[in-house]
Amino acid sequence: MRHKLMALSLMVVLAGCAGTDEVSTRLPPGFLTNAQEIIAATDWSDPEVVTLTIRDHAYSPAEITFHRDRATRLVVVNASDSDHAIESEQFFPDIAVERIFGSDQTVRAPWIKKLVVPAGQTKELWFVPARFGAYPFQCSLPGHASLGERGLIDVVR
């Protein structure tokens, strides 16, 4: 009986709401201080498009490559019936965000801590990677990362 209850409460947590994007128009400590200058100096007419699909608690591809100082349009497709997110303690502080484009709204803020993609929806993150590195990222919903929802971002020349 006790095990059944625990399993039930875990399911409730797994199905729980992912919350919303965490963006900031004020500089979070440790993030790029010149994000606004980078955004203003970047040509947004032809960004590099990278598509990331979320399905069965996995990112596809699990390893993605971006190019430093290049305008980038990351299209995140949630092809599942539950909410998912992207979090990276190392990557997000090193990018300058031009916009977050969702089905119902466009958010403009230079800094982001978490991107949430509701079930069946698509979101775009327009940004410039400003530093080289190999950055781990994962879903922030409880239990998802341990189910395999994690990946690696390479920022190269």
Nearer to Cu ion, 41 or 119 (CB): 119
Residue nearest to Cu ion (CB): 139
- Give the SS3 label for residue 20: coil
Q: How far apart are CB 139 and Cu ion at their closest, in Å?
A: 3
Four-point Cα dihedral 103, 20, 49, 55, nearest 10: -90
Q: Report the residue from 149, 150, 153, 155 that binds Cu ion according to the rule CB under 5 A.
A: 149
Using CB under 5 A, which residues numbered 82 to 141 contact Cu ion? 84, 139, 141
Stretch that binds Cu ion, among 59-67, 110-118, 124-132, 148-156 (CB under 5 A): 148-156
Q: Report in angstroms the alpha-carbon separations of 12 from 8, 17, 20, 95, 142.
A: 6, 10, 18, 34, 10
Which residues face 135 on adjacent strands? 153
Stretch that binds Cu ion, among 33-41, 81-89, 101-109, 126-134 (CB under 5 A): 81-89
The residue type at 77: V
Chain positions contacting Cu ion, by CB under 5 A: 84, 139, 141, 144, 149
